[in-house]
A = this chain, B = another copy of it.
Amino acid sequence: MIAISGQSKKIAEVGEFGLIKGISNLIRASKANASAIELGPGDDAALFRTRPGHTATMTTDTLIEGVHFRHDWSKAESIGIKAMAVNASDMAGMGARPRVAVVSLGLKGTETDRWVFEFYRGALKVAERHGFAVAGGDIVSSPKATVVSVTIYGELSPRKPPLRRDAAQPGDVIAVTGPLGLSAAGARVLADDSLKLEGSPRMLDAHRRPEPRVLQGLLLRYAGVRCAMDLSDGLLGDLPKICDASEVYALLREDQLPVPHAVRWGFPDWFDLALRGGEDFELLFTCPPENLVLVEMLFRRWGCPPPIQIGEIQEPHERRAQIRMTHTDRRTFDVEPGAWDHFGAK
């Protein structure tokens, strides 16, 4: 028996991160958490051993109508693409190769069969592009909202360690695989009909059809990188997770942040939008400077856009903030960490 210490607080008060911590404690205390588990809750995906020396991983994510997508904003195919992409992105964040996906659909009953088939077409597109299979799943009735739940099983080759959140070292450079804020800007464009921006199509695409960085994840591991995660809660939502897990601090360089001009110029609150808005699905990683050279070489050889160095990992310091940023005028300021909490709690 496991003691439950919950205070019967409303989840909106506890917050997403408090909940996950409580669940992790329960799981760790349980006898069910057999020796099979190499890495439990708290990273992009769980790792477990399938046989001596071989590691597998599983990741699951649910999209809810009205929260993660709206039928009037996204076509079925895009929703299928996104549902599969966010899970493949978690695989990328571990440096794993996705192998097989299953899909669970909760349908209101007012969707058409065509909607379901277009959804699957989108899901299968992502699977085809990244070389994994869709093995089916189930369909249930969900009268109040369409619900899409995807789980992917993946494997890690035994040669190199997985990409973890707790492996950042002082002196590491901090880098990302692509631009930040496009998806959040896309959501803003969808929410406000009057917005007509130059970069809108790219923003909408980033929001509706994110591209998981599966190949980049594999290349990072190959290059000896040990610390990475995928950016789903925005740079300032996710970087603190690496800092917490690795017990390090971070210094970012504002002028190097890859926030596209269209986002900076289109939105007065671009800073929060781009760094806390989330759903970038780029990889955030840290490594010694010499590894970054190898990463750049491998990315170039495989046709990936070059990684962008955005700062460095530092020793924790009691009189400093966990995340600081250097402005173009060389002033350094503290940055409030945090994503937009999905339940409204901070």
In Å, the complex CA distance between A145 and B27 comes to 25
- What DSSP secondary structure best describes chain A's contact surface? mixed
Name the segment of A52-60, A158-166, A277-285 touching the other chain.
Answer: A52-60
Question: Which B residues are CB-close (under 8 A) to A113?
Answer: 6-9, 11, 14, 18-19, 22
Nearest B-chain residue to A341, judged by Cβ: B141
Which of these, B10, B110, B120, contacts A27 with CB under 8 Å? Answer: B120
The count of identical subunits is 2
Q: A100-B46, A104-B61 are in contact. Are A10 and B138 (CB under 8 A)?
A: no
A59–chain B nearest beta-carbon distance, Å: 7
**Do B4 and A151 touch (CB < 8 A)?**
no
Question: Which B residues are CB-close (under 8 A) to A30?
Answer: 124, 127-128, 134
Q: A33-B134, A99-B48, A124-B27 are in contact. Are A147 and B61 (CB under 8 A)?
A: no
Which of these, B18, B22, B110, B120, contacts A23 with CB under 8 Å? Answer: B120
Question: Which B residues are CB-close (under 8 A) to A18?
Answer: 113
**Do B11 and A107 touch (CB < 8 A)?**
yes
In Å, the complex CA distance between A139 and B142 comes to 18
Q: A32-B132, A33-B134, A48-B133 are in contact. Are A117 and B23 (CB under 8 A)?
A: yes
Tell me the chain A residues, 137-154 only, with Cβ under 8 Å from chain B.
137-145, 147, 149, 151, 153
**Do A64 and B23 touch (CB < 8 A)?**
no
Interface residues on A, range: 35 or more
In Å, the complex CA distance between A116 and B6 comes to 9
**Do B109 and A344 touch (CB < 8 A)?**
yes
In Å, the complex CA distance between A166 and B264 comes to 59
Question: Which B residues are CB-close (under 8 A) to A195?
Answer: none
Nearest B-chain residue to A127, judged by Cβ: B32
Question: Which B residues are CB-close (under 8 A) to A140?
Answer: 61-64, 67-68, 342
**Do B60 and A134 touch (CB < 8 A)?**
no
**Do A147 and B64 touch (CB < 8 A)?**
yes
A222–chain B nearest beta-carbon distance, Å: 21
Which of these, B41, B62, B99, B134, contacts A136 with CB under 8 Å? Answer: B41
Question: Which B residues are CB-close (under 8 A) to A32?
Answer: 124, 127-128, 132-134
Contact of A297 with B by CB under 8 A: no
Contact of A317 with B by CB under 8 A: no
Residues 296-319 of chain A, each 1 if its beta carbon lies under 8 Å from chain B, else 0:
000000000000000000000000
In Å, the complex CA distance between A127 and B137 comes to 21
Q: A9-B112, A113-B14, A117-B22 are in contact. Are A60 and B149 (CB under 8 A)?
A: yes
Question: Which B residues are CB-close (under 8 A) to A99?
Answer: 36, 48, 50
Which of these, B11, B24, B56, B141, contacts A112 with CB under 8 Å? Answer: B11
Contact of A272 with B by CB under 8 A: no
Question: Which B residues are CB-close (under 8 A) to A10?
Answer: 109-112
A160–chain B nearest beta-carbon distance, Å: 19
In Å, the complex CA distance between A18 and B222 comes to 45
Q: A22-B117, A27-B136, A124-B26 are in contact. Are A144 and B141 (CB under 8 A)?
A: no
- Given contacts A10-B112, A26-B117, 7 further A-B pairs with CB under 8 A are A7-B114, A11-B107, A23-B116, A60-B104, A141-B343, A144-B144, A145-B145
